[in-house]
Amino acid sequence: MEKTVSIIVPCYNSSFYLDECLKSLLNQSYSNIEIIVVDNGSEDNSLEICKSYQSYDSRIKIYVEKKGNQGAARNFGIDKATGDYLMFVDSDDYVSRDFCRLALSSIEKYDSDICIFNYITIENGKHFNKQVFSNTSSGIVCKEEAMKSLFYESFSFNKIYKASCFKNIRYPISKKYEDVLTIYKVFDKAKTFSYINNYLYFYVKRDGSTTSQYEYLEDYFLATLNLYGFLRKYYPNTIDSKAKDTLFKVALIYYIRGHGNNIVLRNEAIRVLRKNVIPTDVKFKSKIIVKLVRRVPVIANSLVKLYRKINMFFVKLRFTIFINCER
């Protein structure tokens, strides 16, 4: 008997992208799927678009869950899923025709708990191939390599999971970057991993997406710090110079651009900047800031505060100009 794949699609104000997303799912070469759309209280006609597709394909199941963020919508979808396997698709993205078939084939062939595959990022009309494991062919991946990959991509979408992997694991409902805060737990629980060296998912980056908003830098740094601490404690061999450089850069961005009032987290960022080696590709101006943090922190803090005030001024100015032009 064919296994069922449950595809969970959180949806919020995605009317411009939904057609391409849903068409790509309904046109899958593997047909035994259920598409669980969880609307987060969209204020556009996203829900109506979903219902129009549901009217001629019963594989689409629609739920409305207005509480919480994308993490809450995913949790709701997980609870409603009846499939043997879980996959996640964001409503402004789309997938290849063999998205389910190839992923399912790999996870069954190798009896893995999770199968990982490549994806393509689309930004400003340009396509960028994202290969998860370089110089690695399709097949079994050791757990340590799988855990290590999370520091560079902790997305939910480029994987298929046995449904049991999410037993007693759910996404946080009050934080952004919920993937980073969750997927490492799922990977830690899993025993076996496989990999497909194919590009099956198209990740569309757009203005307003979580990864493009500086206002969520506190959540981003917290999630990165949490993941780094977990890997360092339980999988120490995964922490190499590249991982340390990544943590350093996230801490630096948070220190300079973050607008939160979390003193503890800010001090943690300063600790990272003082303790770790400055990556070679950090820009000259940022290197000056780091050196000031280490030697004259009072001046560094003053410069950063001035930068934020200037930046905020121009943000407000652009907004005012935009509003006036709209009138």
pTM, two decimals, is: 0.88
Residues 6 or more apart in contact with residue 230 via CB below 8 angstroms:
184, 188
Confidence at residue 324, expressed as pLDDT on a 0 to 100 scale: 44
Element (H, E) at 307: helix 297-326
Task: Yes or no: say if 85 and 5 are a contact pair by the CB < 8 Å rule.
Answer: yes
Q: How far apart are CA 69 and CA 179, in angstroms?
A: 12
Q: How far apart are CA 197 and CA 190, in angstroms?
A: 20
Confidence at residue 259, expressed as pLDDT on a 0 to 100 scale: 64
Q: How far apart are CA 239 and CA 108, in angstroms?
A: 31
Confidence at residue 312, expressed as pLDDT on a 0 to 100 scale: 55
CA dist list (Å): 10 to 42, 58, 72: 11, 18, 9
Each of the 327 residues of the chain gets a pLDDT tens digit; together they read 689 999 999 999 899 999 999 999 999 999 999 999 999 888 899 999 999 999 999 999 999 987 778 899 999 999 999 999 999 999 999 999 999 999 999 999 999 999 999 999 999 889 999 999 987 788 999 999 999 999 889 999 999 999 999 999 999 987 889 999 999 999 999 999 999 999 999 999 876 554 445 568 888 999 999 999 999 999 999 999 999 999 999 999 998 887 667 888 989 999 999 999 999 999 998 898 899 889 888 888 787 777 666 665 444 445 444 344 444
Q: Which two tokens stand for residue 212?
A: 């493009």
Q: How far apart are CA 163 and CA 185, in angstroms?
A: 14
Q: How far apart are CA 290 and CA 256, in angstroms?
A: 10
Rounded to 5°, angle at Cα 74 from 76 and 102: 120
Q: How far apart are CA 93 and CA 22, in angstroms?
A: 9
Q: How far apart are CA 50 and CA 46, in angstroms?
A: 6
Place of tokens 């629980």: 189
In the chain, what is the straight-line distance between the N-terminal and C-terminal CA atoms, in Å? 61
CA dist list (Å): 237 to 16, 177, 194, 221, 276: 44, 24, 20, 22, 18
For 124-158, list the strands marked E by DSSP.
126-130, 139-141
Q: How far apart are CA 7 and CA 74, in angstroms?
A: 10
Residues 6 or more apart in contact with residue 254 via CB below 8 angstroms:
217, 218, 220, 221, 265, 266, 269
Of 311, 242, 251, give the one whose Cα is nearest residue 275: 251
